[in-house]
């Protein structure tokens, strides 16, 4: 099976409106029709929150959230505070999550639903929407050369593919993410829904349900994948289809000088072996292991924001102080 991350580039028509503002920034809700050609019903419109500084814009950040919805409200904290420090910040809502859940589904489920066709559809869509959002920001002269993509969990997995395709990205920050999709499917508490579907008879194709065979195939084929280039990975019929959406397949192709990989020592959401194998594939990157869990760091967004400024070479005290500006974060979904 081939996976296709291509799309036809063109001028993007969009709608945008200020939904709230702070002393030093404005927040816009931006929406446009996805350029992905196989959108699931309910996911056709790309949505992102754009926090634009009123003063000098020194850098750009795009934040890609994790599976589900709960983590997004914490990541939304970063928008106004980074904008206060002069960093325009876009928080993209990935298809199949939060306000973009497809009809009849639930947030985040389709990325790991035990059906290769559904998984491919959402991974392709997530990658295309991320790339086209960069296109739109560039079209509006809002994507700075000094920039960083921050990917948390699912966002980090998608970033591993984006980082290989896209050369307009200066830095990649992977936050508590992992790879080896078979282990995530069979061991993660976040994919218990998939195992319930296995028990109902789904996942027969490509041995998705058969943990032993899936691991065996992965062990045999991973050495071959590690020697493939991008085109070979997405088009090869000699490797298991899961490799084409697995971060461990693309890690060796990333420019490690651009990469920071932050692993959570007490992460129980992603199996340790899935995090370890991706961590090892990022060997030459800037790697850090912190005494945090998958989610308990989320209320401490300030530390992440401070580190983002560091990666963007914005080190003045006044910028770091701006991160502490007291803001009332309005919930855009609450009337």
- Distance (Å) of CA 235 to CA 5, 128, 219: 11, 17, 20
Helix or strand (DSSP H, E) at 175: strand 171-175
Question: Which residues, at least 6 apart from 257, have a Cβ–Cβ distance to it below 8 Å?
Answer: none
> What does pTM read for this prediction?
0.94
Residue 218 in tokens: 């992965």
Question: Which residues, at least 6 apart from 149, have a Cβ–Cβ distance to it below 8 Å?
Answer: 61, 62, 63, 64, 159, 162, 163, 169, 171, 172, 173
pLDDT tens for the chain, 335 residues: list them: 889 999 999 999 999 998 888 888 999 999 999 999 999 999 999 999 999 999 999 999 999 999 988 899 899 999 999 999 999 999 999 999 999 999 989 899 999 999 999 999 999 999 999 999 999 999 999 999 999 999 999 999 999 999 999 999 999 999 999 999 999 999 999 999 999 999 999 999 999 999 999 999 999 999 999 999 999 999 999 999 999 999 999 999 999 999 999 998 888 899 999 999 999 999 899 999 998 888 888 888 889 999 999 999 998 888 888 888 776 655 555 65
Name which of 227, 258, 267 is nearest 243 in CA terms. 227
Domain that holds residue 64: 60-323
Distance CA 188, CA 181 (A): 10
- Distance (Å) of CA 196 to CA 96, 160, 299: 20, 28, 31
**Residue with structure tokens 């790697």?**
287
Write the CATH number for 318. Answer: 3.40.50.1820
Helix or strand (DSSP H, E) at 164: helix 154-165
In a domain, 28, yes or no: no
In a domain, 70, yes or no: yes
- Structurally, how many domains does the chain consist of? 1
């Amino acid at each position: 099976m081939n996976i296709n991350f291509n799309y036809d580039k063109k001028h993007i028509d969009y709608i945008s409106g200020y939904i709230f503002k702070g002393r030093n920034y404005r927040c816009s809700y931006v929406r446009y029709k996805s350029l992905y050609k196989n959108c699931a019903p309910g996911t056709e419109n790309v949505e992102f929150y754009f926090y634009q500084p009123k003063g000098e814009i020194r850098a750009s950040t795009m934040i890609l959230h994790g599976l589900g919805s709960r983590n997004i409200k914490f990541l939304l904290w970063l928008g106004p505070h980074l904008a206060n420090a002069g960093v325009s910040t876009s928080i993209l809502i990935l298809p199949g999550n939060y306000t973009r859940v497809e009809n009849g589904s639930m947030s985040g489920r389709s990325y790991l639903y035990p059906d290769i066709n559904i998984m491919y559809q959402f991974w392709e869509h997530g990658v295309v929407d991320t790339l086209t959002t960069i296109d739109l920001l560039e079209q509006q002269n809002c994507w700075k050369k000094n920039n960083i993509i921050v990917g948390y969990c699912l966002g980090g997995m998608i970033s591993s593919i984006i980082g290989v395709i896209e050369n307009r990205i200066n830095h990649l920050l992977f936050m508590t993410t992992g790879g080896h999709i078979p282990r995530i499917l069979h061991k993660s508490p976040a994919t218990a829904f998939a195992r319930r579907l296995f028990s109902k008879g789904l996942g027969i194709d490509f041995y998705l349900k058969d943990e032993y065979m899936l691991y065996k195939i992965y062990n045999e084929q991973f050495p071959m994948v590690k020697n493939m280039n991008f085109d070979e990975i997405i088009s090869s019929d000699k490797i298991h289809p899961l490799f084409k959406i697995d971060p461990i397949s693309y890690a060796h192709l990333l420019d490690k000088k651009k990469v920071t990989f932050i692993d959570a020592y007490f992460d129980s959401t992603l199996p340790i072996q899935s995090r370890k194998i991706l961590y090892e594939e990022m060997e030459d990157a800037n790697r850090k292991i912190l005494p945090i869990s998958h989610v308990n760091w989320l209320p401490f967004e300030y530390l992440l924001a401070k580190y983002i400024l560091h990666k963007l070479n914005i080190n003045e005290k006044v910028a770091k102080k701006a991160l502490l500006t007291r803001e009332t974060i309005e919930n855009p979904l609450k009337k």
